A and B are shown apart, each in its own frame.
Chain A
Amino acid sequence: MIDGQVRKGFSVKHLPGMTAMALLCFLLLYAPLFTLVVYSFNAGESIALWEGFSLRWYGAAWENEAVQEATVRSLIVASFASAISTVVATMAALGTTRTGRYRGRTTIYMMINQPLMVPEIVTAVALLIFFAMIKVATGYQGLAYLIAAHSAFCVPFAYLPIRARLEGMSLTLEQAAADLYASPWQTFRKVTLPLMMPGIVAGAMLAFVISLDDVVITEFVKSAGQDTLPTYMLGQLRRGISPEVNAISTALLAVTVVILTAFFVLNRKRH
């Protein structure tokens, strides 16, 4: 025993039990997801009994018109929301990093990050009330409400990576461009924009994922018949969990993993 310890040496970083707990934690994080994925390929009706591999539930989900509609709606909302939030977040990031301190900048930070601090249910309730007023006043029931709400809460997610990118970018590059006769617009087009592009792409991807995932705000804001994929799934739950929902979940999970992996790889290349 003593011999063993001597040979192993003393590791400063070692604390007993930490590794075991950590591995348990990873197991706990992935086991349920793994179960979900596996059962989505179950051939049987039951979600308890394994009856062999099958893509039948994917087929069922694919042919389900309600799922199709919800998927298209989710993609439309997420695309608009990520585009709008990325554009305004890019402008705001430029406005809060490419200059010295000015009065009101802290307030702007706080306002931009506000959706991260207020519980989603509160924002959802607030939007329900506000949009109900507009719906009554204008009679318009369309997707614009969902797009506006999603764009707003995606702003901080798009803003943070763009701002991080800009903060890592020295102002001297823009000064060098100005020194070499580039007008402010040329400086932006030729120097600032290309250099901040990885941040913008990251921000847009995060905003897209966040919008695609939202349940609570969508549930409160949507008009009748405007289910997105998550609210559709939540609604299905009243009839008990079905393998079809498992299949949809797995597909969504796959999309998330693909986007995140792309994000991860993009990030690594940058360093």
Chain B
Amino acid sequence: MEGLSHKAESPPRGQEAAVTAVEARGVTKVFGGGNDAVIALDAVSIAIRENEFFTLLGPSGCGKTTLLRLIAGFDHPTGGNIVLYGEDISPLPPYKRPVNTVFQNYALFPHMTVAENIGFGLSMLGRPKAEIDDTVDAMLRLVRMEELKNRRTSQISGGQQQRVALARALAPRPKVLLLDEPLSALDFKLRKEMQIELKRLQHETGITFIFVTHDQEEALTMSDRLAVMSQGRILQVGSPREIYDHPADHFVADFIGETNFIDAEIQQVEADAVTIRLPSEKTVRTPLPEDFQPRKQVSLAVRPEHADLTRQPAEGQLSGTLENVVYFGTGTNYFVRLPDGSEFVVRVANRGEGNGDYRVGDELGIAFSANAIQLLRD
């Protein structure tokens, strides 16, 4: 319970002061009009730092791609501004923004070779031929595609097209690289490979990456920081660890990983912490989340792997009947029915010590530390 502070998880001060590469200031985007109007982005504000791998994560229709397209310049905001290194770029057309995009389906020019595709941006910028050739070769080396230089883009595989798309977008050395679900068309194994490849490229080029995905695992493994979006709003911004361990609200907790939700009551609110009474009558003290509106009934989130099972329910511990056991190799999920009818999942990692010999029907206690409890904003 002590030292339970989110601040410990935050990046050190120095990084906080890093230069902001892209900033959305109160960006709203409405499609259509009248009764058919759809609010794709609702007053979104966000600052993305230089050189970071930043992910916009959310289900389809949450507005993440819209935000990316606004940064690229394919759409214009209904309200607010897009700012690149302090300059408002909202009025600029895409071809005047030093920002490049890797499209979801790559959008490689089918009538050009691999090399012509990669050199396209530089040639549009009017760079000398020698420079273009050198850069194209360097890019081909960077994405390890040297031998396919003169192929047509229709003659190469999906994974190779992906690399060409990356090289093409990186060749003009954009200030920011936008990636619109670039891995979604690849199969599982290739996707894993490309995830590593992308991290390597970002590291080697030092370019700010803004990556859009609906795949939470991808977002957690790749990002320096990520923003979780839903219905045109940004719900939480933070490092993968912050987001996973301390989800701000119900949606984030539910969308990322698996979560047990517990209804609880607030007993006492202090300056930066609250005391909560669990259904098992036990009270715990937990830090006050941002934007928390003090009220009596609240929801708590506890990750299944943060809980453990005990034979004898201790005083003030949650307890229930074991209903189902699902073994999945690296661990086992235990589904426990609580007295109030809700279900609580406990995940026990496989440590090679055999299972705890729990049987369906057993009355078990559920143990978790106060650190594992996350008070949700809503």
| Touch test A–B (CB under 8 Å) | yes
Which residues of chain A have a CB within 8 Å of any CB of chain B?
A: 170, 172-173, 175-183, 186-187, 190-191, 194-195
Given contacts A179-B169, A181-B121, 14 further A-B contacts (CB under 8 A): A170-B105, A172-B107, A175-B74, A179-B94, A179-B95, A179-B100, A180-B95, A180-B100, A180-B120, A180-B168, A180-B172, A182-B120, A183-B95, A183-B124
- Are the CB atoms of B109 and A176 closer together than 8 Å? yes
Chain B residues with CB under 8 Å of A176's CB are 101, 103, 107-109
Q: List 25 A-B contacts (CB under 8 A).
A: A170-B107, A173-B107, A175-B74, A176-B109, A178-B74, A179-B73, A179-B74, A179-B95, A179-B99, A179-B100, A180-B120, A180-B168, A180-B169, A180-B172, A181-B96, A181-B121, A182-B95, A182-B120, A182-B124, A183-B95, A183-B124, A186-B124, A190-B120, A191-B109, A195-B111
Which residues of chain B have a CB within 8 Å of any CB of chain A?
A: 72-74, 93-96, 99-101, 103, 105, 107-111, 120-121, 124-125, 168-169, 172
Residue from A175, A181, A191, A194 whose CB has the most chain B CB atoms within 10 Å: A181
Residue from A176, A191, A195 whose CB has the most chain B CB atoms within 10 Å: A176
With contact pairs A172-B105, A178-B94, A182-B95 given, residues A195 and B110 touching in the complex (Cβ less than 8 Å):
yes
Interchain CA distance A177-B121 in the complex, whole Å: 8
Cross-chain contact of B124 among A172, A181, A194 (Cβ < 8 A): A181
Chain A residues with CB under 8 Å of B108's CB are 176
Interchain CA distance A182-B169 in the complex, whole Å: 13
Chain A residues with CB under 8 Å of B125's CB are 181
- Are the CB atoms of A178 and B103 closer together than 8 Å? no
Q: What's the minimum C-beta distance from B105 to chain A, rounded to whole angstroms?
A: 7
Q: What's the minimum C-beta distance from B137 to chain A, rounded to whole angstroms?
A: 18
Q: What's the minimum C-beta distance from A171 to chain B, rounded to whole angstroms?
A: 9
Residue from B100, B105, B109, B168 whose CB has the most chain A CB atoms within 10 Å: B109
Q: What's the minimum C-beta distance from B42 to chain A, rounded to whole angstroms?
A: 22
Q: Main SS of the interface on chain A?
A: helix
With contact pairs A175-B74, A176-B101 given, residues A181 and B107 touching in the complex (Cβ less than 8 Å):
no
Closest to B125 in A: A181
Closest to A182 in B: B124
Q: What's the minimum C-beta distance from B334 to chain A, rounded to whole angstroms?
A: 47
Interchain CA distance A175-B94 in the complex, whole Å: 8
Chain B residues with CB under 8 Å of A179's CB are 72-74, 94-95, 99-101, 169
- Are the CB atoms of A178 and B107 closer together than 8 Å? no
With contact pairs A170-B107, A186-B124, A191-B109 given, residues A178 and B100 touching in the complex (Cβ less than 8 Å):
no
- Are the CB atoms of B172 and A181 closer together than 8 Å? yes
Cross-chain contact of A180 among B73, B74, B111, B124 (Cβ < 8 A): B124
Q: What's the minimum C-beta distance from B240 to chain A, rounded to whole angstroms?
A: 28
Chain A residues with CB under 8 Å of B120's CB are 177, 180, 182, 190
Chain A residues with CB under 8 Å of B124's CB are 177, 180-183, 186, 190
Interchain CA distance A111-B61 in the complex, whole Å: 37
Cross-chain contact of B109 among A173, A178, A181, A186 (Cβ < 8 A): A173
Interchain CA distance A195-B103 in the complex, whole Å: 19
Interchain CA distance A181-B168 in the complex, whole Å: 12
Chain B residues with CB under 8 Å of A172's CB are 103, 105, 107
Interchain CA distance A181-B101 in the complex, whole Å: 11
- Are the CB atoms of B105 and A178 closer together than 8 Å? no
When A and B form their complex, which 8 residue pairs have the shortest distance between CB atoms, in order from nearest? A180-B121, A176-B107, A178-B94, A181-B124, A172-B107, A182-B124, A179-B101, A178-B95
Chain A residues with CB under 8 Å of B110's CB are 195
Interchain CA distance A186-B120 in the complex, whole Å: 11
Interchain CA distance A191-B153 in the complex, whole Å: 14
Chain B residues with CB under 8 Å of A191's CB are 109
Interchain CA distance A194-B169 in the complex, whole Å: 21
Chain A residues with CB under 8 Å of B93's CB are 178
Interchain CA distance A39-B105 in the complex, whole Å: 58
Chain A residues with CB under 8 Å of B96's CB are 181
Chain A residues with CB under 8 Å of B94's CB are 175, 178-179
Interchain CA distance A187-B107 in the complex, whole Å: 14
Q: What's the minimum C-beta distance from B115 to chain A, rounded to whole angstroms?
A: 14
Chain B residues with CB under 8 Å of A178's CB are 73-74, 93-95
Q: What's the minimum C-beta distance from B24 to chain A, rounded to whole angstroms?
A: 18
Interchain CA distance A267-B271 in the complex, whole Å: 74
Chain A residues with CB under 8 Å of B168's CB are 180
- Are the CB atoms of B103 and A181 closer together than 8 Å? no
Q: What's the minimum C-beta distance from B36 to chain A, rounded to whole angstroms?
A: 12
Q: What's the minimum C-beta distance from B221 to chain A, rounded to whole angstroms?
A: 27
Chain A residues with CB under 8 Å of B73's CB are 178-179
Interchain CA distance A65-B307 in the complex, whole Å: 101
Chain B residues with CB under 8 Å of A187's CB are 95
Residue from A170, A187, A190 whose CB has the most chain B CB atoms within 10 Å: A190
Closest to B126 in A: A181
Chain A residues with CB under 8 Å of B74's CB are 175, 178-179
Interchain CA distance A180-B105 in the complex, whole Å: 16
Interchain CA distance A24-B276 in the complex, whole Å: 88
Interchain CA distance A21-B93 in the complex, whole Å: 60
Chain B residues with CB under 8 Å of A186's CB are 124
Q: What's the minimum C-beta distance from A222 to chain B, rounded to whole angstroms?
A: 42
